[in-house]
Structure 1
Amino acid sequence: MVYRGRPSKSCRDCRRRDIKCDKKTEGCSQCSRAGLVCPGYRNPKELIIFNESDATIERVSGRRPVPISSSPNPLSTRLLPTVMQRAKGLYVSQYVRELPATSIFSFMQIFYPPIVHPIPLLETVTRAIFMANFSFSHGCHVALYQARAMYGSALKMTRKAIQLPEEAMLDRTVFAVILMCVFERLANFGNDALVNPHSHLSGACELMSLRGNTQFANRHSPIMLLHLTEIVVLDCLAREVDAPLQFLALRRMAAENGVDTSALKWRFWDIMLRYVQLESSLRLGLCSEAMLRANQLDAELEDLACGLPSFVSRRKSPAPLNHSSIGPVIYPDSLSLMRWNNIRVVRLILAKIIREQFAQIISSSSDHASTAHWLCESNRRAVDLAADI
């Protein structure tokens, strides 16, 4: 039984004839003119009860036409995942649930499941990252619009959070600011005059500096510093600038507090940071030790590659003639392939720097044989690296 609303105040005959009833006390005028006895009026406080028994439902359902579906087993849209669910699944599968503990953003798991917080900054930024990554991967403009809207909300929450000293020192606040740097890259804010894509990068360095030495006793802070290093290096290479002094001071603070940087990823990004400084020196014309520094970085990268999973080189060990052109993957996984190629690309750039420095000194050098040997060795190494990519 369901409530159908308040009943009409008109008499029964006027309702049946669908005319307006004047509802006079002694009887309505419409019934008098029609020569009818007015049956009177109902109590307006009564309820109209509609019979919804099982028998009635079954009888009415039998009269309704059965909808014809184009598919034999249609799937209700309510059972399909939302765009946010798909975006979250994509991001987590790509960047969070990797096997190595040092994979990008694997430490996001420490913030899950999310707790109820008065300023849901991290949750808002994370959802914006999900949608921005989904838009970047699938070209979904609707997802990018929603991501930008969430980013706008996160900006207001960030201003509110950094005004509270206790809130600004939390891991979740620092991590949220780091994620905002990533979002600004994904959402392509570089050409947006209203947004400074580097402000949150310097803000993240500032927040970590304010946290002082005690933060490195927390196992999460060194991991966040590692990812901040990655973002700073990529930003410096993109803008062709030197590493910020505040960030270098933060790195020295971490080293003084005994942060373990022996992992492969730490070593790689430490080399990349020194490569950024080498490029900055070359732009300033400080080339006196550029070749030695480039050779040293190349040797360290070659040593670092020894710790990567081995692979089968088809150039050095060609497949049989009857082997499929597709063939098995020569790397154990995609992460190993990415790491090998990252090292190769940087070594190729270093080889280019070495050749350029040789070209400058070969005219003034008297030992042409030694110089030619170094130049030939650099070219051979570059060819081998390019062939394996």
Structure 2
Amino acid sequence: MVFRGKPSKFCERCRERRLRCDLQQPSCNSCIRVGAACTGYRDTINIRISDQTDFVRTKALAKTRSPLKQRCVGEPKVKLKVRHLPQDLLTLGRDMFFTYYVSDFSRTWDFLYNYLDPRSAPKYLTLSIEAVSLAFLSHQVSSETARDLGRRKYCQALREINIALQNSTTAKAASTFEGALLLDLFEKIMKSALEINTSGHAHIEGALTLVKLRGVESFKEGTELRALMGLSLNATICSLSTGRVVDPSIRQIRVHAAQFVNTDYPKWKLSGLMLDITDLAAEMRKGFMTAEERITKSEYFDRKLEIVATEASPAWTYERKSLSDPDGARMVPAGFPRVYDVYPDRMITQMWNVLRIARILLCEEIIQSCSESCDPEVAAQCNRANTAILTLVQEIVASVLQMTDCDLVAKDKLPIGSTGKQHSHSIPHILDVYILIFSLYVVAWSKSCPQSAVDWSLKHLQHIADHFAIKEAAVILNILRKQKREERISPWDRVFGQLSNAPKDIWMQSAYSQGHDMDSTPSE
């Protein structure tokens, strides 16, 4: 570590103008006199770090009182690179956001590389990037200062983008559309899983309006198209959570994108089927379909998804490995195959589990509708659905250990030199674990899932909440514990309505559906 001198607590405006800031709340008098918005005062404890990139991975070990300490077990020796970069929350947030979210987690946002230099971006877009970066920083290090400053930046960005929308030229600009996407991401990061509701999709609807205003055909191959496809995914999940059919513009986006992507890629086929399943869910919610109609349509789409899975190789490949008898008894649910799967990357893991989740929900609908049907011949369809759920649950279970078992299977993800309980977790490792939360929720939610797998999923959610300090796992675990199995409501209402837009894109990332993930173009 290199001591760079005690950083100033002064607000941004006073620092830039070398003025003496009186640090008054909620705004310093210097800003009040000129009618400027005061950015607030820096958290000087959190900004005394010389290496921005390594800060994200090593802050827990470099500072004894860091909020990231809760993510570490023991204190291994970590070699820090020393570089001299400007130190403030905005810089830390931008470095973390670009390094771990834009570069690693989701290619949807690679259009932001065009605006690495704030001078090359409109004011509303710069403010939007700052707001999202601070929100991401706040979530990772539990910084209230970053959270509050991020909210102020968000309000400023919202005002600026509303001004831009008043002009027909700037309203059609790519940067305005991109700003709307950033404001939506900010809200997803800052809101808890239980706060997301039908009123939380305003920016998605606004972005779709801008697409219609600009014209789908104007979006070019590359970063623009990836951003457009990311919007189409977000909008699809919003439709699922609100019980509405897919906006026609989403299908127009796919028609346009089909000119530039590999439509044989399994990810493309899966995302197309999700549009149809969304419309089916909206139709079923109306309550006009007979049990037999629900069975027929659910089984049709389940078989379509099964075909995608069958034809996925070699684009989606993974390796199945066996566990020793002692390890298997400890690491998998009772009665399950003692195996685990290793996937090439986070995206392929997520794609497989999205497909499996969709099939589980369809099969649950088939089983429920069979119980309401008077047709004796539906018994075979019910048996097939039960068998499919068991297989799908086994596959989801086998995908978990590669991320979560730090003692054995996921040991290679730990920092070099980690031994036994003495280890920390990198941000990429945390994001790897994050994508599993929604899958574990569905396994524990499924009525047809074996009880041993339900208990195993609950245990793993608790492990993720405690060992990896991921608060969303604790939120979802609390939901599962409160709801009784015999009182569960429609899977479309509970699963998609409550959790699909949870922060950091649990579903999209793709994941908070991220989330991670389904949000980049299928040609990658």
Q: Report the structure number with the largest CA radius of gyration.
A: 1
2:237 to 217, 222, 234: 234
Equivalent residue, structure 1, for 2:357: 345
Q: 2:345 aligns with which of 319, 323, 333?
A: 333
Residue 233 of structure 2 aligns to a residue in which SS? helix
Distance change >3 Å, CA 81–CA 347, structure 1 → 2 = farther
Q: Within 2, Cα distance between the matches of 1:220 and 1:89?
A: 20
- What are the within-5 Å matches in structure 2 for residues 54-69 of structure 1? none
Alpha-carbon offset, residue 258 of structure 1: 5.5
Aligned to 2:96: 90
Say if 1:269 and 1:190 are closer, same or farther in 2 by CA, change over 3 A.
same
Aligned match of 1:46: none
Matched-pair contact (CA < 8 Å) for 2:266–2:308: yes
Cα distance in 2 for residues equivalent to 1:76 and 1:110: 25
Aligned partner of 1:320 in structure 2 is 324
Offset at residue 196 of structure 1 (A): 5.2
Query: 1:271 and 2:273 equivalent?
Result: yes
The answer to whether the 8 Å contact 1:190/1:197 transfers is: no
Query: Which residue of 129, 134, 144 maps to 2:132?
Result: 129
- Tell whether 2:396 aligns with 1:386: no
**How big is the alpha-carbon RMSD for the aligned residues of Structure 1 and Structure 2?**
3.5
Deviation at 1:348, TM superposition (A): 0.8
In 2, the alpha carbon distance for the partners of 1:257 and 1:77 equals: 42
CA distance 1:254–1:312, change in 2 (3 Å):
closer
Q: Distance in 1 between matches of 2:135 and 2:283?
A: 35
Q: TM-score, normalised by structure 2?
A: 0.51
Q: Is the 8 A contact 1:226 1:266 kept in 2?
A: no
What is the distance in 2 between the residues matched to 1:287 and 1:204?
A: 33
Matching residue of 1:375? 382
Q: Deviation at 1:342?
A: 1.7
On the 8 A contact 2:298/2:362 being kept in 1, the answer is yes
Equivalent pairs, count: 301
SS at the partner of 2:288? coil
1:1-389 aligned at under 5 Å gives the runs 81-98=87-104, 103-109=106-112, 111-114=114-117, 116=119, 119-188=122-191, 197-217=200-220, 219-238=222-241, 240-243=242-245, 247-252=247-252, 255=255, 259-260=259-260, 262=263, 263-288=265-290, 289-305=293-309, 306-307=312-313, 308-313=315-320, 318-321=322-325, 330-361=342-373, 363=374, 365-367=375-377, 371-389=378-396
Query: Do the aligned partners of 1:275 and 1:297 also contact (CA within 8 Å) in 2?
Result: yes
TM-fit CA distance, 1:381 = 0.8
In 1, are the aligned partners of 2:305 and 2:355 still within 8 Å (CA)? Answer: yes
Q: Counterpart amino acid of 2:278? A: V
Following the alignment from structure 1 to structure 2, what is the Cα–Cα distance between the partners of residues 208 and 196?
20
Give aligned-pair identity as a percent: 20
Unaligned runs of 5+ in 2: 1-80, 332-338, 397-524
Judge conservation of contact 2:97–2:136 (CA < 8 Å) in 1.
yes
Q: Quick one: distance in 1 between partners of 2:119 and 2:86?
A: 27
Matched residue of 1:96: which SS? helix
**Residue 153 and residue 350 in structure 1: after superposition, are their counterparts in 2 closer, same or farther (change >3 A)?**
same
Determine the C-alpha separation between the residues in 2 that align with 1:146 and 1:276: 37
Find the counterpart in structure 1 of residue 65 from structure 2.
none
Partner of 1:69: none
The one-letter amino acid of 2:316's match is: P
Residue type of the partner of 1:90? Answer: M
Q: CA deviation at 1:236?
A: 2.7
Deviations 1:244-267 (A, max 9, x none): 5xx313533652685446244433
Counterpart-to-counterpart distance in 2, 1:206 and 1:272: 22
The AA in structure 1 aligned to 2:127 is: T
Q: Which runs of 5+ in 1 are unaligned?
A: 1-74
Asked whether the equivalents of residues 216 and 254 of structure 1 are also in contact (C-alpha less than 8 Å), the reply is no
Instruction: Decide whether aligned partners of structure 1 residues 188 and 106 sit closer, same or farther in structure 2, where only a CA change above 3 A counts.
Output: closer
Match in the other structure for 2:45: none
Judged with a 3 Å threshold, the aligned counterparts in structure 2 of structure 1 residues 258 and 287 are, in CA distance, closer, same or farther, namely same
- Taking the aligned partners of 2:305 and 2:138, their CA distance within structure 1 comes to 35
* Residues 132 and 143 in structure 1, CA contact (< 8 A), matched pair in contact too: yes
Give, as a single letter, the amino acid of the residue that structure 1 aligns with 2:363.
A
Deviations 1:257-297 (A, max 9, x none): 85446244433332222222111111101324332332232
String of CA shifts for 1:152-175, please: whole Å, max 9, x gaps.
Answer: 110111111111222111111111
Aligned counterpart, 1:35: none
Give the structure-1-normalised TM-score. Answer: 0.67
